[in-house]
Every structure is written in C-alpha cells, then in structure tokens.
Amino acid sequence: MAIHEVYTYLRVQNGADAIEFYKRAFGATEKFRLVEPSGRLGHAELDFGGTTVMLSDEFPEYGIVGPRSVGGTTFCLHLHVDDADALIRQAVDAGAELVRPAKDQFHGERSGTVRDPFGHEWLIGHALEEVSPEEMQRRYTAMLEGS
C-alpha cells in the first residue's frame, strides 16, 4: 500500500474564526467548507502555498477536541517561507502570540514560533544556508556543550 499524501488536520474551537485568522496571518486561501445545519464546521480545507491543511470544529462527542480544550498542543507546524521575520510580524498583528522571536539557528535557518488564538503553534523559518547533517550535528553538539 502506497502513501500518497499526508495532511495536517487541525481541530479548533470556532473553525470559522480560525479560517479567517489563517487567511490574515499566513495568507491561506479557503478551498471549501462543509457546515452542519447547526452552524458547526464539519470540515474545511485551506491552501497554504500549495499545501492543504484541513480543519474542523471540535466534536467532543467523538473525542475530537483542540488544544484549548486539552490545555496545550504536542506538535507544531513548520512554515518554510521567504521571510520569517515578516510572516511572524504578520501573524502577531493578526492575533497570534509570539512564543519565540526569530533568530539565526545552528541548522542554517532563521526561525521563530507563534501560537495562534486556537492553541496551535507555528514554527516559521527561512533558509540562511545549506548545512549537511554532519555539520548540523557538529554545531548541535557544540551548542549543547556551550562551545
């Protein structure tokens, strides 16, 4: 059996607001949404620069809950962009919380982290240089040893 794609599927409180936030913060475009007669968002798909991110409102009756309901998140999404500083500013201006400001990293990327109003964390970075895995390990070890 071949795997053809992997999609991120976000669960949030108030999916309609999340869609509008992702449009403002990251320039996502809405592909479509499915809404229950009650108004609850059953499914939506957003395009993030050619990558599909799916999302829905919470469905606690099925165990489908988001980070705000469970008190945090265990993962982050990494957006690789042209200008990390600019997109971080745009996300914060749209309502994201700055978790870690952008800075140059040992692995050849400038990156920082924001938390969206729905509890998901986004690592936003851009390439500074190509770094081999061996050099990355050397730099990582040196950083941890305080050299």
97-120 CB burial, b ≥16 within 10 A, e <16 = eeeeebeebbbbbbbbbbbbbbbb
- What's the whole-model pTM score? 0.92
What integer pLDDT is reported at residue 40 of this predicted model?
A: 96
CB atoms within 10 A of CB 78: 14
Report percent pLDDT > 70 for the chain.
100
The residue ranges of every structural domain in the chain are 8-145
What integer pLDDT is reported at residue 57 of this predicted model?
A: 98
Phi, psi (degrees; rounded to nearest 5) at 89 = -60, -45
Q: Which long-range contacts (CB under 8 A, 24 or more apart) does 124-129 make?
A: 124/78, 124/79, 124/81, 124/84, 124/87, 124/88, 124/91, 125/78, 125/79, 125/80, 125/81, 125/84, 126/80, 126/81, 126/82, 126/83, 126/84, 127/80, 128/104
- Among 3.90.1150.10, 3.10.180.10, 3.20.20.140, 3.20.20.80, name the CATH number for the domain at 8-145: 3.10.180.10
Give 79-132 as a DSSP string: EE-S-HHHHHHHHHHHTPEEEEEEEE-TTSEEEEEEE-TTS-EEEEEEES----
Residue 147 confidence (pLDDT) above 80: no
Instruction: Express each pLDDT in 103-127 by its tens digit.
Output: 999 999 999 999 999 999 999 999 9
Instruction: Express each pLDDT in 16-62 by its tens digit.
Output: 999 999 999 999 999 999 999 999 999 999 999 999 999 999 999 99
What integer pLDDT is reported at residue 146 of this predicted model?
A: 85
Instruction: Express each pLDDT in 132-145 by its tens digit.
Output: 999 999 999 999 99
